Every structure is written in structure tokens, then in C-alpha cells.
Structure 1
Amino acid sequence: MAGRSSGIVAGLTAAALAGIGFLAFQANASAPEHLAKAPHSPSASPSPSADPNGSGGHGKKGSGGKEAAAAVPAGSGEGKRVVYALGAKRVWLVDESGKASATFEVTPSTVDPAPGTYSVTSRAAAVLGSDGVRIVKVVRFAVTGGVVVGFSAAADGSTPQPDPGSRTGGVRESLKDADTMWDFADLGSKVVVVK
């Protein structure tokens, strides 16, 4: 009888812990943004800022710590759009006038969308990514070979290289850049992928 009682107690304890974990996740997901955010990791990129040249606030670090300007790629369309350059591993958020309000580096997924024009098909404030990592500010725009591709940030702010042996579609951003993308790219927003 003692063995059965300890099994029941263990089962109830596990169920209670699972319930607490779920409630904590829900509370964090519905908390005000300034409370729900995890601190940035040292690898997170700095905040985007407007640039009168239309190159955005981020650039690759140049010599002496100065940022090199990153112009919006030619042939990336017109009007308001998100431009994702696969080779540069960079995103530009382009306003109606054709100038970038922000640009930042991203960590690509293992599955890249083909160059072309897409639209934001869905968004989610917080979900579990296909790689098992909790992600926030998810902006999905493509499906490639059955893999959903979208921009997101890991809830802990990390941007590690994805496992090359897995098929994932999460293009990772820093938490701050994910906030900027979230505010810019509504449902139906244009996303242009270039080489």
C-alpha cells in the first residue's frame, strides 16, 4: 500500500508542478511588456534608430568602433516593406518613402525562404519554437519545404547559431529588434527576401 501511495503522491506532485509552470508561462505572456522582457544578452544588437540617410541605426562594426552604413538593397521593391537579405544576414524596415527606419543583423534559420515577395501571414506574442526554445514577438511570412519561416526572438535574448542538423525556420533577432519588427510588421505587411 505504501508503494501505491507514494506513486499517487508523485503523480499529484508532477501534475501540480506542470500546472504551476503553465500558469507562470501564461502570466508572463500576458504581463505588461516592461515586466515580461528578459534582460538582453551581451550578443544582442543595439537598439535601432532613425537615420536621415535611410540606412537605419545599425551597421556592421567598422574599424575604430564606427558603424558602416548599410543601404537598403537595390531591387527590393517599393513602399513600406521588410527587406531580408540572406547573404548579409540583415533586415531593413523600410517606410513608405523608401527610407529604412531601422536595420539590424539577424541569425538565419537552417531553412531559408527563396528570394521573392511575401506577406506576413500570422503573428504570435509568445510560443515554443520548433527548436524547443521559448520565443516571443513571432512574425511569420513564408513556408519553405513544409517549414514555417518567420522572425522572432528567444525569450532569454540569446541568438545562438541554429543546429545545422535540424530544419527550423526561426530567423532570430535580439529582443529589442524583435520589438521594433513587431511594431512595424502587421498582418499582411510586405516582406521582400533578397540574396
Structure 2
Amino acid sequence: MNLNHHFLIAMPQMGDPVFSGTLTYLVQHDEQGALGLIVNRPLNLNLEEVFESSELSGYSPRTGSKPVYHGGPVAQEQGFILHPPTEQTWISSLSNEQLVLTTSRDMLEAIAQDEGPERFLFCLGYSGWSPGQLEEELKENAWLTVEANEAIIFQDDEVGKYQHALSDLGIDLATLSGHGGLA
């Protein structure tokens, strides 16, 4: 099972408050484990504050007003930038061919100057699973999966992202049961 470029949609019975109600984009999933970013949990923080704490001046008001997201419980002090592939290569990047995860300061500087990718999501922290952990959680019906839709990732409606991903599966949130079974 390869879930690169898929969403994990937390089921209503998700007991972990970190992931309850979340939509997580899986950047990488293989025998080594999985790495993803929660894409629908904005923090009470915008990029202007990140630029200032990183001592970047002269930043664009357009990018400075963008929200910062809680990407997950791992490395919460580190910034992760999710974006479509660009012609420019960045110092520290992980790509799954559809989207790129960049952690380098050069990308943050480009975004501050409004010279980075047109569409991006800036997260603090990431979500990680050890080998076999995600597969076990899927067996326990903790998550639904669906191929990721970039329009959902980069839309401004954080609240609607979860519901839109469910809609891609043909599921209405109002009819989703918190109890799963095995066929």
C-alpha cells in the first residue's frame, strides 16, 4: 500500500485530540513509515510573525498575512513549506512528484519577498508514523483515505477542507458514523 499524495481524514471517533477533526496530507509513505502535514488546522499566527522571528525584513504584506498551520506534533518549532513543483530548486526538499515539501531558509526568504511559489502552505511541525503504525491505525478505522486534491490543500476555507475531502469520497459529514467495522 502506497499512500503518497493521499489525504488521511480523521474519523469522528478519533480519540487523539492532536488529530481529531483533521485532514492530513501524506507527503511520503513507504516501508520506513509515513510523513504528513495537517492542512486544516491554522494556528493563531501568520507569516508576518514568522518573518519577524526569522529576522526577515522588507517582506510582502500579501504573504505576511497568510496563516501558519499546525502541521503535527513532531518538530513543532520547525517550518515546513508544502508547494507544487517549481522551476527553481531549493536547498532542502522532499518531493512525491505532485507536491514538494521544503524546509530551507532560502524558500522562506523567497516567500517573504513574494518570489516563492504562487501556492504554498506553511506549517510548524509535521505528523510522523513509524513503520507499520499508520497501517495499524487504518485497520482500526481511525482514518479514511482518498487521493489528495491540491485545490483543497491550498484553498482558504480551512473549515471546509475536511468536508470537501469527504465529498471527494462521496460522503456527507452528517451521515458519517463514528463506529466502523471490518468486512
TM-score, normalization by structure 2: 0.27
Q: Which has the larger radius of gyration?
A: 1
Decide which structure has greater strand share: 2
Q: Which has the higher contact order (CA 8 A, sep 6+)?
A: 2
